Amino acid sequence: MSAAATPTPQKLRTRKPLTVAAVAKNLGALVLAAVFVFPVYWMFSSSLKPQHEIMTKDPVFVFTPTFENYRTATGVDLFWTYVTNSLTVTLGAVLLALVVALAASFAIARLKFRGRKGIVLVVMMAQMAPWEVMVIAMYMISRENDLLNSIPMLTLIYFVMVLPFTIWTLRGFIAAVPVELEEAAQIDGCTRGQAFRKVIFPLLAPGLMSTSLFGFITAWNEFAMILMLNKEKESQTLTLWLTQFQTAFGSDWGATMAASTLFALPVLIVFLFLQRKAVGGMTAGAVKG
């Protein structure tokens, strides 16, 4: 057997020795993780404690859990109406933003027309603008059109809030898809719309997931608009439900923590479902294009 045919032994992988810098980095990561996780743990644990154990001066880490706070939180009037309203405006805003942003980002990334750079600049400015300064303007528009306490109007406002980021991110993903793939599909007989649907759209999954996650969190957590526009309880969402546990006799912190836990649960579920694609999608969509 020739030397060339003789199999060479694989190199043994040696573990790199721990250095002071590596240990410091790991300790720093653990400290940061503890800092970010501890408030979430305290919120959840407090939601399972009796009121007297929440208000004690000495922290209580070992306790007998109770679900009374959750019964109090979900037992308020119109609780399921708040849930329905929150899901309606959030999902409606996200779906509308995705549909409009797909068309807009495709036009910006693929088509050459006058004013294209100006549109991109306007999208960037809209993304950077704080929406809290628009509360008064939105209130006046809603009042003049008799749309106060309106779920469709609130959905439209949330749609406008999440649209700039959606356009900006999807534009990067569409620009990253080689034009040759689209041209090849057209040569094979596809129209431009069919080429987009069959070639480009399947490659946009990371971008769609990341923008959906951002839009869901933005609309789900929004407080200022709903506080000003929807005064009637039947048209309010879960963000205002969180404020209902304060009375003239004090705050029911157990029910507040239970409500906060329930309020954060949908966002956590959506994030866990989309995390693999969403994290990479936000990074890729921000730098390509």
If pLDDT is split at 50, 70 and 90, which confidence band does 278 have?
low
Mean pLDDT value of segment 76-85: 93
Domain locations in the chain?
A: 20-70, 76-287
Band (pLDDT 50/70/90 cuts) for residue 202 is confident
Q: Token pair for residue 281? A: 């999608």
- 276: closest CA among 209, 211, 200, 184? 209
More confident residue, 56 or 34: 34
76-287 in CATH: which number? 1.10.3720.10
The reported pLDDT for the residue numbered 284 is 46
Half-sphere exposure of 57 (CA within 13 A, CB side): 0
Q: Which of 90, 246, 218, 83 is nearest to 162 (CA)?
A: 218
- At residue 182, the pLDDT reads 82
Share the mean pLDDT of the chain.
84
The enclosing H or E element of 12 equals none
- The yes-or-no verdict on residue 276 having pLDDT over 80 is no
Q: State phi, psi for 247 to the nearest 5 degrees.
A: -125, 180
- How many C-beta atoms lie closer than 10 Å to residue 6's C-beta? 8
Instruction: Quote the pTM value.
Output: 0.81
* 188-216: average pLDDT: 84
Q: How confident is the model at residue 142 (pLDDT cuts 50, 70, 90)?
A: very high
DSSP assignment letter at 177 = S
Residues 6+ apart with CB under 8 A from 102: 170, 201, 204
For the chain, the first-to-last Cα distance in angstroms comes to: 55
